Chain A
Amino acid sequence: MQYGMIIDLERCVGCHACTIACRAEWEVPVPYQRNWVKRLGPTMTDDGMASTYYPGLCNHCDKPPCVDECPADTVEMTFTDYKSGKTKTMEVAATWKDPFDGSVQVDKERCLGCGACADACPYGARYVNPDLADDDSEGKVDKCTYCKPRVEAGLIPACVQTCITDARIFGDLSDPNSEVSKYVKKGAKGLEVKGGHLGPNSRYFGNKKDMGLLFADYTPEMADMGSVKRRAMMASMVKPAMKKAKDIGLLGLAGAMLVKGLSDNEDSK
């Protein structure tokens, strides 16, 4: 199974209902976001004057570069397919791609808040929420979950439910008869990175000029993995030190100093 979402630009009116519903559903604090709507144009394109929208969210990529970058210690985790009850055990860090539904998820308990995954995502689909900082982290990463808890309770994602034009369609891309697969057959496409193969599963459908405008304006480039890796490495190095600081009760001061040292380090490279 691979969950995916279609956004039909012929229907979308750029109303932002989806972004606000998501905020309410998951208590996403301003100014962060799990999804977004950008207005494109009006601009002259080869196919005439065009203006459309970029309603974006995590693509739950086939090969998510974000997952690879997580420096948290891996643990063994057993996944259960909520439909069949089948299980599978894997070694995962604090973020992973679900072996059953293909969604990309985060374990906030174990997240270090280093933001390496957020840096690795070429779509800007993740953010670090500093309000959730605790003794072990500088905050916690948050992102679109394809509303996994809702979906498993038999509901549809909050943004899909509230979309005023039914422009958002959610379903299983590996099922050829699903609504989303039909859209793919009609030509729905993901915003694949330049020269890469991430396999984005949130996909867009629209007329030629609108799709042209969207892809011209928002085809992303791969992040500079070198710097992402450095940051992840540093975060994992700092981790034991933070533990120690906590143990001897020095957290307030020590934490601040360590963070400072980290960013200095990064600047000098």
Chain B
Amino acid sequence: MAFNLTRRKFLQTASLAAAAVPLSKVVSASTGVTKAPLDAKGTNGDKTVVGGICEMCFWRCQLVGKVRDGRLMKLEGNPKSIDNGTAICARGNAGVKLLYDVDRLKYPMKNVGKRGEPKWKRISWKEALDECGSKLKSTVDKYGAQGICVFPHGSSAKYPMHYFERAVGTHNVSEASFFQCRGIRDTAYVATIGKAPGEKIDMPNTKVLFFIGDHLGENVHVSHIKAYIQGLQNGAKLIVADPRFSASAAKADIWVQIKPGTDTAYILAIMNYLVKNNKYDKKFVEEHTDGFEEFSAAISEWSLEKAAKECDIPAEQIKEVAEMLAANAPNVAIHPGRHVSWYGNDFQRQRALACLTGILGAYYVKGGWVPSKGPKVGGVSWAKEDHGHKYNLNFDHHEDEKVHPFNPPGTPTELIRDCAISGKPYPIKSCVVWGQNPMQTIPGQEKMKDLFRAMDFVMCVDVMPTDVTMWADILLPEASYLERYDYIKKGTQWDLSKEHQQYISARIPFIPAMFERKDQIYITNEIAKRMGHEAKIPVKTIEEMVDKSLATANLSIEKLKAEDGIHIQPGKDPYGIPEDFEVLLYNEDIEDAGHPGAPTYKPVEQPPKGFARLLYGRAPVHTFNRSQNNVWLKNAMPDNPVWLNDQVAANLGLIDGDVVGFVNSEGVESRTTTTVKVTPGIRKDCVYMYHGYGSANPLLTIGVGAGVDDQSLITKLAVDPETGCNGMRNNFVKLIKDGKVLDIPA
């Protein structure tokens, strides 16, 4: 015992009385606990609060919250929803634990130590905003607006992103979801059918579902899964091409155990077979496509045999699939995929999928690709301004055209990084990261660190500490999706064969923002004021933004609340092809830009001897960093066992549950280990693990080190030539067991 008095002694003697007088002088007058009124509030049963919109993933199901004594007890699907209904997925349910995650950012913090090795100190909002404002302003004053780069992600990052792009005027904005995920898909479809495809296939009413690499079930979005299962229940056939016996393959009629990277060859062979055997939709091709000649000529080399060899699958099976598609066309659903940045030859594969849908006539017909007709709601944001192309890194000034002509909006990450690190063609000196974790979502972690090292100022806004927030000078805590207004969610009923309905819903907080967390409008506006853009501020508060948007549909927050959080109105029949709809089977513009105008297969790098290709995918309970530290989700799937072919395992003497690490072909070792899952359900030339595990950030008390971080092994980036997006599946690994590196047998 440190003190030589006992407590009792102290309390009994005069010491207490003597001490108490001075003690009372230095304590503040008020407490946080006050006398309650005699009448208890009388909350009998939990209060149901409406209007929440999930953000554990981008699908954004509509929620209600159960609140007891100011505590959010549970989230449920909004019974009024015609989208997810009362259902929400595991992540949606576990949103409660994100809200109450003790590791979440609570107050503005300043790094008083070195960048990347932070010593955090809580500061006031005023100090934090003054610092952000003055640092960013001095970057603009010294280097111009292009001296700021921005990495935004999520619905709350839209408003600040528009601020930096439009009012400040930098092109150097890179959205992870575009460049590392669906950007390729969207631009490939735009280059084929003139629009992004979404996931708009009419699965409940289709006869055949065709998935390339889509693993629905492991990849979970509620109404999407509902539509998928409804399709199967209604008798649709399911074809799944995947090197692995995925969750979807397990429900499939045909599992195509394709060799990784060869998908385009596979699709070309199917199309070639359809064309050669006159099994395509001639009427549709005539009326709604362009470039059939060039297209069919370009793919004519792809015989079943040639593809069979390339893809390492039986020719008979390719034929079986082609026949099944032809027999059921046009009521076939070719899934456009979502995360499609795989091998650096992805734009062409996505084009091929769009063309396959075309020659089967499967656009705007029952069971095909059908965009539902949703309600119109206007948005409110910073006014657009033209800032020219002078500082656009994605613009080749000699040729007067874009470097990556089919790149999505913003600037490819690679270009920003190269410029920031080299200082050429101009300096980039401040970095704003908003809700994105580029350390995990963008390959090449070391390069990202180099970018941060080259900065004068780095600020991060997030709900959670992630790998990237360690690099911030100022770290700002954002209100989570359960504590703020913002997103407007709209859509239609998911089964297009049901009564046509539209819905509009807006995010309404379930509980007030805890600690000193703030929303994106407040933070952006305060920075804008300090950077001299006060006059351009479009809305003063987040409620104002939501109300102004809703007003365009004759709604308001109040009206929505009165309608239990969701407004429902009659919808429209989505079937029927628009007059001007056209599928560019051959696209001249792509050819002019120096790339193949008809879908073309480009072989990808093969694993060197002794290595296996590293494949990754989604776990149903995780989406990126927002779910890594969630105690409920973590408990549901604590790590990411690596799938290893049973014969390979036998060869290596590995059994189920063995603990292994990894080394990739560039010599990079995994920081952590995981267990082996031995299964016949994966090819011999690859291994597979769930993405999003093994975060390096020790701040995440739950997430740290659990499983292996696939991203840390993805050190080689294939760049998709048409889009500039990163391909991440050309990395090869060996396993390490007890310090010994094991060669994967060929």
Contact = CB atoms under 8 A, between A and B. Distances in A.
Direct contact of A and B (CB under 8 A): yes
8 contacts: A15-B621, A24-B74, A24-B93, A25-B74, A30-B632, A41-B245, A42-B679, A161-B76
A13 B637 CA distance: 15
B92 A17 contact: yes
Contacts of A43: 679-681
B475 interface: no
A234 interface: no
A14 interface: yes
B229 A24 contact: no
A44 B681 CA distance: 8
B90 A10 contact: no
A52 interface: yes
Nearest to A32: B635
B86 interface: yes
Contact of A20 (B90, B247, B679, B682): B90
B220 interface: yes
A24 B86 contact: no
B458 interface: no
Contacts of B255: 49
A21 interface: yes
B537 interface: no
B636 interface: yes
A184 B216 CA distance: 28
Contacts of A265: none
A251 interface: no
A162 interface: yes
Nearest to A31: B635
A121 interface: no
Contact of A51 (B225, B226, B250, B636): B250
Contacts of A52: 250
B217 interface: yes
A20 B233 CA distance: 26
B229 A21 contact: no
Interface in B179-230: 216-217, 220, 222, 225-226, 229
Given A24-B75, A42-B681, A164-B225, A51 B637 contact: no
Interface string A32-60: 00000100011110000111100000000
- 10 closest A-B pairs by CB: A42-B681, A13-B217, A16-B90, A20-B93, A42-B245, A51-B250, A24-B74, A30-B635, A164-B87, A15-B620
Interface string B69-93: 0000111110000001011111011
A223 B637 CA distance: 27
Interface in A1-28: 10-11, 13-17, 19-21, 23-25, 27
A52 B247 CA distance: 8
Contact of B87 (A25, A51, A161, A210): A161
A41 B225 contact: no
Nearest to B223: A164
Contacts of A42: 245, 249-250, 679-682
B631 interface: yes
B217 A14 contact: yes
B633 interface: yes
A162 B90 CA distance: 9
A263 interface: no
Nearest to A33: B635
A163 interface: yes
Given A10-B232, A42-B681, A164-B225, A15 B89 contact: yes
Nearest to B232: A10
Interface size class of A (residues with CB under 8 A): 20 to 34
Interface residues of B, number: 42
Contacts of A25: 74
B49 interface: no
B680 A13 contact: no
Q: Find the residue from A19, A37, A162, A164 having the highest chain B CB count within 10 A.
A: A164
A162 B633 contact: no
A31 B631 CA distance: 9
Nearest to B61: A164
Given A10-B232, A24-B75, A51-B681, A17 B90 contact: yes
A41 B77 contact: no
Contacts of A10: 232-233, 251
A164 B221 CA distance: 9
B728 to A, nearest CB: 24
B617 to A, nearest CB: 14
Interface string B539-566: 0000000000000000000000000000
A24 B87 contact: no
B96 interface: yes
Contacts of B84: 164
Nearest to A52: B250
B470 interface: no
A165 interface: yes
A50 B250 contact: yes
Contact of A164 (B226, B232, B636, B679): B226
B461 interface: no
B94 interface: yes
Contacts of B245: 41-42, 49, 51
A161 B86 contact: yes
Contacts of B251: 10
Contact of A15 (B77, B217, B233, B681): B217
A37 B84 CA distance: 21
Contacts of A166: 87, 226, 229
Given A23-B632, A24-B96, A49-B245, A13 B87 contact: no
Interface string B245-260: 1010111000100000
Contacts of A30: 631-632, 635
Nearest to A161: B86
A14 B620 CA distance: 8
A19 B636 contact: yes
A44 B255 CA distance: 14
B635 A164 contact: no
B87 A17 contact: yes
Nearest to A210: B250
A162 B249 CA distance: 24
Given A10-B232, A15-B620, A16-B637, A163 B87 contact: yes
Contact of A162 (B87, B620, B631, B635): B87
A31 B222 CA distance: 26
Nearest to B72: A24
Nearest to A28: B632
A6 to B, nearest CB: 15
A200 B682 CA distance: 35
Nearest to B75: A24
A16 B679 contact: no
